[in-house]
Amino acid sequence: MEDLTPMLQPTPTILGSASAGDPYLPSSGNGGYTVAHYDLELDYRVATNRLTAAATITARALTALGRFSLDLAGLSVDRVTVNGRAPAKTVHAARKLVLTPAVALAAGETFEVVVRYRGAPHPVRSHWGELGWEELTDGVLVAGQPSGAPSWFPCNDHPSDKATFRIQLTCEAPYTVVSNGPLVARSTRSGRTSWTFDVREPMAAYLASVQIGRYRRHDIAAAPVAHSLYFPPALARPVAVDFARLGEMIMVFSEAFGPYPFPAFSVIVTADELEIPLEAHGLAVFGRNHVDGLHGSDRLIAHELAHQWFGNSLTLTRWADIWLHEGFACYAEWIWAEASGGLTAHANAVLHRAELDLLPKNIVVADPGPHDMFDDRVYKRGALALHAVRQAIGDEAFFTALRAYTRTHRHGSVTTNDLLGCFRVASGTGVADKIVARWVAAKSLPPLQPAVPAPLAPTL
């Protein structure tokens, strides 16, 4: 008789990795599961920076799991359950919440984790400065890129693991709260207001955000997509001037890149000065120093808006491909300048290539390394790669490819090969592969071709 003992043995469980395996951020993200949904209930005291919160995380095991982890930094965990039961073991240290469920998770099993936690949220330190939850003079700013999300909620902090979100934040009634997705509920009781937002498109954890301040809201228009401004009342005049053409900018980019990917777009201008503007899913954040009432930040506005397509809807699969976000956002600046009657994209390309030629040529844009992820050369060489492809295949094929790229991979994860595939189909050739390789996969700086794309008609 055949020995059936091996067949009767239980399937061995695996200890989920406490890393997503991305060499740029080896301590971020986690293996063994994927998150489907985050439900965050946040109770926050602005005056004392105290947060009491509960996160309900719905996930699916990718393999049999005897242990798994979440990213969470600087906050105290009060209680955890996995599928309604306390874990056999809970360890919270070094930005990781490591859980051993009372019953091991089967491969393919959907499971629910509830984490109740509290504390004084603060940014996490990184190569790129302090990231995440940051107190303003009178309010809060959250900027999670690339690894700041664990400063305010437990998560699988890698951009390749995108999920839907419900975010409810309660704070003092005089403050306005802005977050990702449509505002679906608001109620005030005993001097405190609860704001609830619903994000139905998959979103990377680093793009989740809340902005809290004494803001005035102004709805600019409902078309081509609803877009609104939030700002301190004292900045009403310069904000109105500087963002007056936002609707036109959305139309230009919608024509070039395809339909705007989210239900709405909101701009927040803080009462504080900020080093740089910031993007999040459906949002862009500027400091008071970025508005002058003279359209001095049009380039920055175009850049952050373009990230809604490139970065927020189409999100890189690995951080080495950061040029897929920043190269496109930079090229969008040139497209807007051209469409609004300024320098053509080609004139900008010539100008910035000359500037790059004066800088060290010691970076590979396709794999710049974590310290140089946000180096300006990544932005500019990425934009130049796109312009060189546009020169080679012409406007019709170029923009057809971009619209196919954003449509095919809408709300998904992308690689450079995904973009190149769209260029191949639209142009009928593989010429873009060689062009992109010269600009982003080599250190030497290629020349620009003399052919100039016909400028977009400045009809705005």
Report pLDDT for 224: 87
Integer Cα distance of 38 and 162 in angstroms = 10
CA distances (Å), 376 to each of 294, 322, 379, 381, in order? 25, 12, 5, 8
Average per-residue pLDDT in the chain? 94
Integer Cα distance of 187 and 323 in angstroms = 42
pLDDT in tens, 196-216: 999 999 999 999 999 999 999
Report pLDDT for 13: 67
Domains of the chain: 1-214 (2.60.40.1730), 215-307 (3.30.2010.30), 315-440 (1.10.390.10)
pLDDT in tens, 102-151: 999 999 999 999 999 999 999 999 988 999 999 999 999 999 999 999 99
CA distances (Å), 253 to each of 335, 337, 405, in order? 8, 12, 14
Whether 246 shows a pLDDT value over 70: the answer reads: yes
Which residues, other chains included, contact 209 with Cβ-Cβ below 8 Å and sequence gap of 6+? 142, 143, 144, 179, 180, 280, 281, 283, 285
Q: Are the C-beta atoms of 180 and 165 separated by less than 8 Å?
A: yes
Which residues, other chains included, contact 181 with Cβ-Cβ below 8 Å and sequence gap of 6+? 165, 167, 197, 198, 199, 200, 262, 263, 281, 282
Report pLDDT for 223: 82
Structure token digits, residue 399: 């923009």
pLDDT-derived band at 12 (thresholds 50, 70, 90) equals: low
Q: Are the C-beta atoms of 252 and 460 separated by less than 8 Å?
A: yes
Which residues, other chains included, contact 8 with Cβ-Cβ below 8 Å and sequence gap of 6+? none
Q: Write b or e for each residue in 418-449: b if 16 or more Cβ atoms lie within 10 A of its Cβ, otherwise e.
A: bbbbbbbebbeeeebbebbeebbeeeebeebe
Whether 35 shows a pLDDT value over 90: the answer reads: yes
Q: What percent of the chain has pLDDT over 70?
A: 95
pLDDT in tens, 151-174: 999 999 999 999 999 999 999 999
CA distances (Å), 268 to each of 219, 229, 240, in order? 12, 6, 12
DSSP labels, 320-379: GGTHHHHHHHHHHHHHHHHHTTSS-HHHHHHHHHHHHTTS-----TTS--GGGTT-HHHH
Structure token digits, residue 130: 């302090």
Report pLDDT for 452: 56
Radius of gyration in angstroms for the set of CA atoms belonging to the chain, rounded to a whole number: 23
* Bridging pattern class, strands 124-126 and 129-136: antiparallel
Q: What is the largest CA-CA distance in the chain?
A: 88
Which residues, other chains included, contact 33 with Cβ-Cβ below 8 Å and sequence gap of 6+? 16, 59, 60, 61, 62, 65, 68, 105, 111, 156
pLDDT in tens, 392-438: 999 999 999 999 999 999 999 999 999 999 999 999 999 999 999 99
pLDDT in tens, 70-94: 999 999 999 999 999 999 999 999 8
pLDDT in tens, 301-353: 999 999 999 999 999 999 999 999 999 999 999 999 999 999 999 999 999 99
More confident residue, 232 or 127: 232
Integer Cα distance of 370 and 169 in angstroms = 33
Report pLDDT for 67: 97
Report pLDDT for 15: 79
Integer Cα distance of 139 and 154 in angstroms = 22
Average pLDDT over residues 14-43: 94
Integer Cα distance of 356 and 383 in angstroms = 12
- Smallest CA-to-CA distance from 195 within 49, 56, 43, 38 is with 43
pLDDT-derived band at 4 (thresholds 50, 70, 90) equals: very low
